[in-house]
Structure 1
Amino acid sequence: MAGKTLDLKSFKIPLGKLSPLETFRTRQGDVLSYRIYPAWSDNLIVLYHGVGSDSRYMCVLATAMAQAGLGTVVTPDLRGHGASLNAADPHSQHQFEIDLEELIIHIKMTRAVSRVILAGHSLGGGFVLRVAVSDIRRQFAQFLAISPYLPPGLHVFHDDFGGWISPDGNGGFKVNLPVEFISGQEKLTYSADYLAAVTPSDKIMADIQKLHPPVHVVVGEQDELIIPQRQEQLFTEAGANIRVVQGLNHLTIVSKPDVWLQQISL
């Protein structure tokens, strides 16, 4: 089943809403980057980006969350992306969980935090689901997965992936980013090992059904990569809350959060 082609030309990052870049050094010696959107709340929302890009394009959603008083929002750059581009490849299958825990420790050194909410879009949404059924899940009060990446075996993608990614035949893929959008901070190839360390396993739905984590899923009805009806079926059967938002696609789900954000209880 072919979806529409993902069109980046109409997607703009409002620089006026973009928080400055900050960095911290992990105990393994890697320098990782993030942006922070403060709010008058002791909730902390860690919000991850998706494939190919970095924390910059999450600025509209992060700003909306902070201004709504849902919590102070931190948007990390996954290692290998953005200003974290030069960080080493995952050292283990749990590398991204380790990075997340170290980021939270770093933030707690300067801010009072009572509840931590984990959120993410696309690949970041897949990571949210991975954490939601992991050994560290109890550190988080809620999980919000936006247009989440799911294992290919669950058949949630349109056959052409909206023209956005091309599988390499070895369990990885490359990103088909138009040359005019390439700045040098993008990650354009993903190995099978990288994906195995950041995405949920093939039994993610069974794990959700068994563990009942407080997961909220949001997907756009016009998503070019994901088949929303298939995700709705899977998450409903697993007992997770899912909302299909009319009129939004894979990118406008994060650039137009006012359409759905107030209807999600975090």
Structure 2
Amino acid sequence: MNTRLLCVLGLLSLGLVTLVAALLFGGPSPAPEMASINDPFKTLDWSGMPSPARYKARDGAQLAYRHYAPASKDVRGSVVLVHGSSANGQSMHKMASAFAQAGYDAYALDIRGHGESGQRGTIAYIGQLEDDLEDFAAAVAPSKPATLAGFSSGGGFVLRVAGGSRQTLFDNYLLLSPYLGPTAANYRPNSGGWVSVGIPRLIALSILNGFHISALNHLTVLNFALNDEAKALLTPSYSFNLAANFQPERDYQQNLRNVQRPCAVIAGTDDEAFKTDQLEPELRALGIPWPVTLVPGISHIPLTLDSHALAAAVQAVGEMAQ
């Protein structure tokens, strides 16, 4: 056996050992509790929150959502709300209520892998969340004009839909302090401390998926900075499948360019998870003229709770529907 072949075999063996080690030992470390994410919900008034309803997804799963009926008989359309990472539809209660009071049919989804929709922390395949959303739209038929709005990672997923092949499911899109990905201008390392990423395992699984090997996509790659009480109620970690699906496409800039429907962006000036002052420059550099509203003095979670932020969201949807 010649020296060159031995070197090649040695490198292949080393690469295989490194890959296996990354899969076994390269998962995320625990994320220390992040008070600014956990605390705002402790004093929230949950009164008036509707009971969960269900729709049947194409795999037979019964997935959960909450419907907030409009306060007015003159329905202005509908708003379908997608929560942020680790959360569920309950976290969008204040925002859904605000849209209902403004005359919209409002729906707060439990995205599969969260809340009462499927096994927490994982999904069966990348792309299942888009399938679920299509099944929701077919089963529930939200009134027109229909807006899909997403917060944080949910905003990233909404962008995935808005710039994808199923963007015609909705008439308008609203991104609320969206996660655009680790290479985006608005990214803060580990989302400001909210998430712990198992980078070696994430890279190893990405390599395997590049070869169409997805058998290990159930492995955990993200942990969230929840307190002990929240861990029992929410989703403390994500598998590779869920993490890869609940965000924009990898080429987020092309994802942005592909959006053909009206879209608006809202964030707070004091957001600790993302650099929100970079959202408008990023869009303008790509030649995208979407309106961007930064609500003064608002940090990450209060964007979905504060009355001024809620008013800005309602206004943005109203302007897109004109």
Q: TM-score, normalised by structure 2?
A: 0.74
Q: Deviations over 1:189-239 (max 9, x none)?
A: 113322222211232223423544311111111111001122222123231
Match of 1:78 in 2: 111
| Count of aligned pairs | 258
Q: Which one is further off, 97-106 or 203-212?
A: 203-212
| Distance in 2, Cα, partners of 1:242 & 1:42 | 22
Matched, 1:65 2:89: no
Matched, 1:131 2:179: no
SS across alignment from 1:84: coil
Question: Aligned in 2, Cα 1:175/1:207: closer, same or farther, shift over 3 Å?
Answer: closer
Q: Deviations over 1:145-174 (max 9, x none)?
A: 101111112242323533221111133321
Match of 1:51 in 2: 85
Matched, 1:104 2:153: no
Q: How does 1:8-23 map to 2 (within 5 A)?
A: 8-11=38-41, 12-23=43-54
| Distance in 2, Cα, partners of 1:24 & 1:139 | 17
SS across alignment from 1:153: coil
| Distance in 1, Cα, partners of 2:269 & 2:121 | 37
CA contact (8 A) 1:22 1:33 kept: yes
Question: Aligned in 2, Cα 1:102/1:88: closer, same or farther, shift over 3 Å?
Answer: farther
Residue 177 of structure 1, aligned match among 226, 229, 232: 226
SS across alignment from 1:106: helix
Residue 123 of structure 2, aligned match among 82, 90, 96: 90
| Distance in 2, Cα, partners of 1:74 & 1:88 | 22
Larger radius of gyration: 2
Structure 1 unaligned segments of length 5 or more: list them.
none
| Distance in 2, Cα, partners of 1:14 & 1:90 | 31
Q: Deviations over 1:41-62 (max 9, x none)?
A: 1622110001111111101011
| Distance in 1, Cα, partners of 2:241 & 2:58 | 22
Match of 1:213 in 2: 261
Match of 2:57 in 1: 26
SS across alignment from 1:10: helix
SS across alignment from 1:65: helix
| Distance in 1, Cα, partners of 2:245 & 2:37 | 28
Query: 1:37, CA displacement in angstroms?
Result: 0.5
Which one-letter code corresponds to 2:294 in the other structure? Answer: V
Match of 2:302 in 1: 252
Calculate the aligned-residue CA RMSD, in Å.
Answer: 2.2
Residue 161 of structure 1, aligned match among 188, 191, 205: 191
Question: Aligned in 2, Cα 1:223/1:50: closer, same or farther, shift over 3 Å?
Answer: same
| Distance in 2, Cα, partners of 1:105 & 1:142 | 17
Greater helix fraction, Structure 1 or Structure 2: 2
Question: Aligned in 2, Cα 1:26/1:202: closer, same or farther, shift over 3 Å?
Answer: closer
Residue 152 of structure 1, aligned match among 169, 172, 182: 182
Q: Which 4+ residue blocks in structure 1 deviate beyond 4 angstroms?
A: none
Q: Which one is further off, 169-178 or 43-52?
A: 169-178
Question: Aligned in 2, Cα 1:81/1:7: closer, same or farther, shift over 3 Å?
Answer: closer
CA contact (8 A) 2:56 2:139 kept: no
CA contact (8 A) 1:13 1:59 kept: no
Query: 1:65, CA displacement in angstroms?
Result: 0.8
Q: Deviations over 1:2-54 (max 9, x none)?
A: xx963422333311132211122223111211101011316221100011111
CA contact (8 A) 1:144 1:215 kept: yes
Match of 1:225 in 2: 273
CA contact (8 A) 1:17 1:60 kept: no
Match of 1:118 in 2: 148
SS across alignment from 2:81: strand
Which one-letter code corresponds to 2:54 in the other structure? Answer: T
